[in-house]
Each structure stands twice: as C-alpha cells, then as structure tokens.
Amino acid sequence: MKVYLDNAATTPVRKEVVEAMQPFFSEKFGNASSLHSFGVEARNELEKAREKTASILKVKPSEIIFTSGATEADNFSLKGTALVARKEGKKHLITTAIEHHAVLHSMQWLETQGFDVTYLPVDEFGLVDVEQVSEAIRKDTFLVSVMAANNEIGTIEPFEEIAKICSERNVLFHTDAVQAIGKIPMDLKDIDLLSLSAHKIYGPKGSGVLVVKENVQIEPLIHGGGHEFGKRSGTENVASAVGLAKALELAEKERESEAKRQTALRDKLIDGVLQIPNTRLNGHPTKRLFNNANFSFSFIEGESLILRLNEKGIAASTGSACSSPNLKPSHVLLALGLKPSEAHGSLRLSLGRNNTEEEIDYVLEVLPLVVESLRKISPFAGQ
Amino acid sequence: MIYGEKVREHFLKPHNMGKMEHPDGVGKVGNIVCGDVMWLYIKVGKNSKGQRIISDIKWQTFGCAAAIATSSAVTDLAKGKTLEEALEISNKKVVDSLGGLPPVKIHCSVLAEDALGEAIYDYLKKNNLRIPKKLQERHEKIIADIKEIEERYKEFLQREETSGKKQSREPGF
C-alpha cells in the first residue's frame, strides 16, 4: 500500500486543473502582451484567472500579482516594501520565530542591509501573542509579517487580530497564507499583503500570488517589460495563472466538506498515534489546520523513522536535523521549547483530499511497529 | 532514498544490534544536540596465538539511517579482529564497506570509527594496558570536542535536563 501523507510539502495537480491549463501550452500560446488575436486570447484568459482569484479572495483584480510561487511572493512583499520604507526613514520589521524560511531568510538579508527585525517568540503551542506584536511596534516600524498557519505544526495564528492592530497603528501587515488558503476562511479586510502558492492546493508548482492592496507602495524586484501592473515583469505564464485560479476555486468550493472529512481522519490519526508510549503532539490541540498532525517520539530520530516508513509505502516528513542540509533541527520545533531530542524525533503527517480512512488504519497499524523497531536500536529507550 | 543499496540493507536489518551485558569496553560518542549518539560495546577474548581479539561486539544508536548503517558496518568489520587490527579500521573503510555515503553523512562514519576506538580505549584503560599514542590522542580530541559542543549548545542541553519548559528564541540556530 502506498500512502501519501506529505500534502503540506506538495499536492498532486488535480485533473480539472490540468484540463484547465492544457490549452495554454500549444493551442492558446499567445503572449498576453501581443496586440494580435493570439495575444488578446491569452490576455483575456489571464484576466479571467485574475478576476476569479480576486473574487474568491474578495479583493480587486488589480491587487492580484501572479508570481513564480510563494517564495517569490514573500521575498517581494518584504523587500519591495522595505525599499519604499527606507526612503521614508523607516527601518523596522516584526515577524515571528516560526516563519517559513522564505520570510526568515528575507528578514535576515534585510538585516544585512541596515534594517532592524524583531523576531517574536511563540508559546509552547506555536501561538504568537497579539499583545506582544502590539508592544513591538515602534515609530519606525513599517511592516509586520505573521504567517496565517504554520507549515510544520499546523498552528493557526491570530492573524486577523494582528492585521487589525497593524491597520490601526498604520503599519503594513503581510501574511504567508500558503498552508492556510483553502483550509480556513480568510478575511483579507485588514491584510495588506498576502502570499499564496498553487501547488499546496492541487495546482501547479512554480505558481503563486502576492496580493498587494492598492494602498500599499511597493518597489518591484524584477524589472523588465512592466508586466503585472509594473510590479513584476516577465511574460505572463497564462497556464500557471489559470491553473492557480482553478485550484483555488475548487479548494474554496470543497473547503467545508473537506474540513469535516479530513478533521475526522486527522483526529483518528492523532488519537491512534498518541497511544504509542512516550509520544507527544506538537502544535495546538484545537487551533490547528485540519490536515496537520505533528508528533515527537522520544528516543528515536526522524530521518530513520521517515525512511523506515517509506519502506512500508508511507510518505511523511520530519523536522529532524538529519533531513536538513545544515544538520540543524527545525527552528519551529525549537521555538516551541522542545528538547533537541524531541525535535530530532519529530514526524509530520499531512493529509490531503485523496487520503482515505483505510490509509489511516494502515498507518496506525504500521507506525507503532516502526517506532518500536527503532527504539530497540536506541541507547535511550529503557534508560 | 538518497542512500545506496548496502546502506539500505544495514539500515533495515542492522547486524550486532542491541545492548551488551557486562561489556569489557564501552565507547560512547556523538551528541544529542547534533542528532547522532552511538554506544558501542566490546567483549575481549584471545585467539589461538594469544592475541587479544574482539570476541563480541554490540551497539545502540540514536540517529539517522547513515548512523545506524555505519554502526552496523563497523561492528561487522571489527568482529573477530585483534585490537591492533580493529584500531586500523578507519571511517573510510566503513564508508567503502557500505559502497559510499552522501557527503553530508560522512560524519556518521567518523562517529563509528570513534565509537570503536573509544570502546577499545576504555578496555585498555580499565585493564591498565598500554594505550597507543594515536589512540590516546584521538581520545583526548573526542573529549575536547564533546566539551566544545556542550559549551556551544549549553542552552539546548540544559533544556534536555529541565524538559518541556516554555521557551522561545530567535531563529539562527
């Protein structure tokens, strides 16, 4: 049996999405900037995709900037606003210790360029304290970036409350909504900038959006032919935009039914896995994405766990150091206050629309045996 | 999987695995902060020529697939060897016996070499036997490295002792 439980890493492209994208490779291939019929055809479809995306997010079409993905969108939102802020003498940004590396490493780069960054801590469940955000805002603060939901532990942040505070204090608010879109209802009223990615919602890879509200001043990072309202140059990838819009439409349409279905599967998984002795659930017990389960197993290491599960056909991921190129355990798990051994022994199982109850039963049958087999090898078990 | 077939075999069905009761020598290397800890136990006997040999060997490891595979492989290589021969088992020999390791996992083979060396050191020391200069130097280096890591990751090691306390930090670690 093959069980894919790494949907937070990526998802398969849906058939409907592939079909929607198909005409834009060989048939309707025109450059959306061309004046002839081929160009107009491509332009019309691109703008339809933009309008669809905008209407789902309840923003204006002119506020949708198609990008190569969420990493670009995160980079663009932080660096693009920083370039404007610098001219106004503002140099302070606020974020959290558990952001995706696309945000964290952009922040760290901005620090090398003379900007100040405050990294807010999180509690043991991964929640950011709204009060702390408010207290961290300074006179020269121009932007706060807090993810809507965390990719590793699935904790849903109070981003709407934080957005409201930022709006009142006249500070821009950016949120990385990659994991949250299609999973929780999102009100963008007070959100100035929002990053999302298509491949987490059964759309194509290399496709994302940065929502840039019309009040936001942002400098482009990619210069060229002035595409995307002059904010992001490069010949428009119509297939990619159409795919994203379709994926988003379907994700929103099925959000409530999938929430119900996957929550039941997730809870069955969590209840079952916690029967294994010396196991803990990472993340928040209730403020949690419906498709995320993250555990730490004492005495064993995550890469070994992943690879032994892989032998049984189960695909999952870990925050262990051994899975990362720099041999450091997950910054998210460490920020929760986990011991290094617990961070090394973590397992993320992320569900998707294709998972079945039968698969969960299979995992609950196999996982305890795999954990036990590795604990037999460990010097720490039975200590 | 990023590993070759031999690594996979050792990882899935490790040899000489488990704890040893009343070992003659124990080598404990690695660090929980880095995610690899290897404990290696030896029993020392004598061959027909009266030379000291590793008559039995076992290990316990907390670590990635490469750490488990190198533990298994180094014990295969050392079993039945004289202590002198066992001390000649380099990390490269371990890597070769596994048909290679990815570059980021080479440190696991160093850990295996060190664990074996430390177990032999422990045996020689306990029995007041002569410790070769090279082994003495390596032992001192291992101890110094452990100290350095403990110093560098003090906060995390304390966390290991105090456990589960609410805590948070800036990224960068």
Note the pLDDT tens digit of each residue in A210-266.
999 999 999 999 999 999 999 999 999 999 999 999 999 999 999 999 999 999 999
Residue B167 inside a domain? The answer is no
Alpha-carbon gap, residue A318 to A167, rounded angstroms: 36
Inter-chain CB proximity A335 and B168 less than 8 Å: yes
Inter-chain CB proximity A341 and B166 less than 8 Å: no
Alpha-carbon gap, residue A318 to A322, rounded angstroms: 9
Q: Which residue of B has its CA nearest to A300?
A: B62
Q: Which pLDDT band, with edges at 50, 70 and 90, does B153 fall under?
A: confident
User: How close B140 gets to chain A, by Cα (Å)?
Assistant: 23
Q: What is the CATH number of the domain that holds B62?
A: 3.90.1010.10
Q: Residue B160: is its pLDDT beyond 90?
A: no
Among residues A43, A115, A49, A130, the alpha carbon closest in space to that of A82 is found at A115
Q: Residue B18: is its pLDDT beyond 80?
A: yes
Alpha-carbon gap, residue A43 to A25, rounded angstroms: 14
Q: Which domains does chain A have, with CATH numbers?
A: 15-253 (3.40.640.10), 254-377 (3.90.1150.10)
ipTM: 0.88
| Torsion angles phi and psi, residue B39, rounded to 5 | -115, 130
Note the pLDDT tens digit of each residue in B116-151.
999 999 999 999 999 999 999 999 999 998 888 888
Residue B173 inside a domain? The answer is no
Residue B102 inside a domain? The answer is yes
Helix runs in chain A, H state only: 15-21, 23-26, 37-57, 70-87, 101-112, 130-136, 159-168, 238-253, 255-273, 302-311, 331-335, 340-344, 357-377
Instruction: Tell me which H or E stretch contains A95.
Output: strand A92-96
- Answer yes or no: are the C-beta atoms of A208 and A244 closer than 8 Å: yes
Residuewise pLDDT in 10s, chain A (383 residues) = 999 999 999 999 999 999 999 999 999 999 999 999 999 999 999 999 999 999 999 999 999 999 999 999 999 999 999 999 999 999 999 999 999 999 999 999 999 999 999 999 999 999 999 999 999 999 999 999 999 999 999 999 999 999 999 999 999 999 999 999 999 999 999 999 999 999 999 999 999 999 999 999 999 999 999 999 999 999 999 999 999 999 999 999 999 999 999 999 999 999 999 999 999 999 999 999 999 999 999 999 999 999 999 999 999 999 876 655 566 788 999 999 998 888 899 999 999 999 999 999 999 999 999 999 999 999 998 76
Residue B170 inside a domain? The answer is no
More confident residue, B152 or B166: B152
Among residues B32, B29, B82, the alpha carbon closest in space to that of B59 is found at B29
Inter-chain CB proximity A337 and B165 less than 8 Å: yes
Alpha-carbon gap, residue A157 to A124, rounded angstroms: 13
Q: What is the extent of the structural domain holding B51?
A: 5-162
Residue B169 inside a domain? The answer is no
Residue B145 inside a domain? The answer is yes
Q: Examine the residue annotation and report whether A322 is marked as an active-site residue of this protein.
A: yes
Who contacts A171 (Cβ-Cβ below 8 Å, separation ≥6)? A137, A141, A142, A143, A144
- Answer yes or no: are the C-beta atoms of A298 and A279 closer than 8 Å: yes
Inter-chain CB proximity A123 and B39 less than 8 Å: no
Q: Which residues of chain B make contact with A109, given a CB cutoff of 8 A?
A: none
- Answer yes or no: are the C-beta atoms of A280 and A351 closer than 8 Å: no
Q: Residue B1: is its pLDDT beyond 70?
A: no
Note the pLDDT tens digit of each residue in B36-54.
999 999 999 999 999 999 9
Residue B110 inside a domain? The answer is yes
- The single residue of A97, A281, A322, A364 carrying the catalytic annotation is A322
Give yes or no for A147 touching B (CB within 8 A): no
Which residue is listed with tokens 């670690």?
Answer: B173
Domains held by chain B: number: 1
Inter-chain CB proximity B35 and A122 less than 8 Å: no
Residue B171 inside a domain? The answer is no
Q: Which of B1, B17, B166 lies closest to A337 in CB terms?
A: B166
Q: 3-state SS of chain A: helix, strand, coil percent to 5? A: 45, 15, 40
Please give the model's pTM, rounded to 2 decimal places. 0.93
